[in-house]
Structures are given as C-alpha cells and as structure tokens.
Amino acid sequence: MRLANKVILFSIAALFCSLSFSVQARGNYAAAVDDATITVAELPSEARATLQLIKQNGPFPYPRDGLVFKNFEQRLPEQARGYYREYTVPTPGLRHRGARRIVCGILPECYYSSDHYRTFKRIRE
C-alpha cells in the first residue's frame, strides 16, 4: 500500500474516532444536566432576581437578554432551534456581563450556568 493511501486511511480513522468521542461527550453533558440541579433558594440573589424578571417578561437590563441560545455544544437537552433563550445574571463588581447566565426553554424549564455555558444546573422551583 502506498504511503498516500496509508495517510488517507489513518486520517479517516482518526476523524471517525474523534466524531465518535464527540457524540459520546455530548450525551454525557445531557446526562450530567439531568442529574445536576439547584433550587431557587440556592441560587445567588442576582440569579433569583433575573429569574423573577424572566417570569414577568422583563424589563431586562442587558440588550442581549432574551436572545436565542443555540446550544451548539449540546450541553442542554436537544430541542428545536429557537427553543432556548439566554439571560444575564449580573456579577457584583464587574462592569461587563460576566460569566453567569440563566437559559430557559418553556417555563419553568430553566438552567443556571456560573461559568459561561461550560456547565449547567437545572433550576428546581
């Protein structure tokens, strides 16, 4: 077998393994969200205030609040595009939006992220 063919076969195998791992990892994120929960009482006070604004449909302090959250990393359960909306949870002492967010589907389905979408906890009412 020529070297070029071996390189192509190796590349295809590496890509297949990478895609397989990616699909498994996405499944693990969804499972992790199902198990990770936080009660409203456990949320930071700023997150409780944001959740209240979400429930009363605003007004929201940040222009990007209420925009579609696309769930590219698929860390939340898979839904149709446009299902999730994101909202900023202010962080005391910061002049920018910070990393904290609440992402909601159809209420009361909401998730809290303290680390800019790396991890989520389902908010339990």
Known catalytic residues? 86, 116
Q: Residue 108: how many CB atoms within 10 A of its CB?
A: 14
Q: Residue 80: how many CB atoms within 10 A of its CB?
A: 7
Which token pair is 28?
């693990």
Comparing CA positions, the residue from 123, 34, 18, 20 lying closest to residue 75 is 34
| Beta strands 121-124; 37-39: pairing state | parallel
